[in-house]
Amino acid sequence: MKAIVGTIIVLVCFFGGYLPHGSAAILFQPLEMVIIFGCAFGAYVIANPGWVIKAGLTQALGLVKKPAISKALYVDLLGLLFRLFNQARREGLMSLEAHIDDPHSSDIFNRFPSLLNNQHAVDFICDYLRLIITGVSNPYQLEDLMVMELEVNHHEEMMPAEAVNRVAEALPGFGIIAAVLGIIITMSYLDAGPLEIAHHMSVALVGTFLGILASYAFVGPIANDMRGRAEQVSAFFLTIKTCLMANVNGYAPTIAVEFGRKSIPAHYRPSFHELEDYLRTQK
């Protein structure tokens, strides 16, 4: 929704300032658009592996939806980890084996459907609980492994956004290419009248305009939004790591999830009393 509102603001301000003194028809130049956006997309395909191409397009189109990370999801995460830690504390670590081997059949995981739908997060939680159950008890080695995986995941999460951002940086250049081609075409009309030459010059300049507008008003902001969502995902996994490490270090379930709460970004973080009241319903 935010992306739609921003696009409307850009278009209203642009046309509101231009149309009183200019013609909209001159701005519609399909061949210029083919040159600029076709070359930009071709460069995007050349520069990136297949999964990045697909992820970049999917994430860019997905900006019209709400972000996957929310305060409610964080609260569900803390609730899930609290119940898992409580289960292990009361009945032993081995009691978690059935839950992590098939989380979709687990009564604990099924209490949190929003989190269960996040397969990446579920896999991360289950993989590290499995390591803990099988005897990896050295907290330093476990934390190093988590940090390494989170760094790899963060790099991969950022790649689609960086790819789209490079397209944004290239669009003004492709706009200039389209403009130069327009000037070349204009040179063949030097024996025509001034009005016809002026028309061809206007068409050529539209290329530069379209490249700059698309870069700074649309594609660049899209890349920044994608980058922000990738950072949100990384912060979410950092909270999982914080809770797991607090549990490995011997803290009680309530304290372990409090460690996690403190690692949550401020605009998503539940208050101490909000979390306390919520955890009472999970005991």
DSSP character string of 211-263: HHHIIIIIIHHHHHHHHHHHHHHHHHHHHHHHHHHHHHTT--HHHHHHHHHHH
In a domain, 15, yes or no: no
Is 136 a residue whose pLDDT tops 80?
no
Query: Are the CB atoms for 153 and 234 separated by under 8 Å?
Result: yes
Give domain status of residue 59, yes or no. Answer: yes
Number of domains in the chain: 1
Average pLDDT over residues 52-79: 92
Which DSSP state fits 267?
T
Q: Which domain holds residue 72?
A: 28-283
Q: Could you tell me where the DSSP H helices lie in 134-193?
A: 139-187
- The residue type at 160: P
Average pLDDT for the chain: 90
Q: What is the pLDDT of residue 200?
A: 78
Query: pTM of the predicted model, to two decimals?
Result: 0.88
Q: State how far the Cα of 16 lies from the Cα of 32, in Å rounded to an integer.
A: 23
Q: Is the confidence at residue 134, as pLDDT, over 70?
A: yes
pLDDT of 161 reads 96
Taking 90 as the threshold, does the pLDDT of residue 125 lie above it? yes
- Any idea which of 24-28, 75-79, 253-257 has the lowest mean pLDDT? 24-28
Quick one: pLDDT band at residue 227, thresholds 50, 70, 90?
very high
Q: Pick the residue with more confidence: 268 or 137?
A: 268
Contacts of 245 (CB under 8 A, 6+ apart): 139, 142, 143, 146, 259
Domain contains 22: no
Whether 13 is in a domain gets the answer no
Six-digit token string for 105:
């059949």
DSSP 142: H
pLDDT at 147: 95
Could you give the CA distance from residue 29 to residue 16 in angstroms, rounded to a whole number? 20
pLDDT > 90? residue 77? yes
Q: Domain for residue 16, yes or no?
A: no
Question: Is 23 a member of any domain?
Answer: no
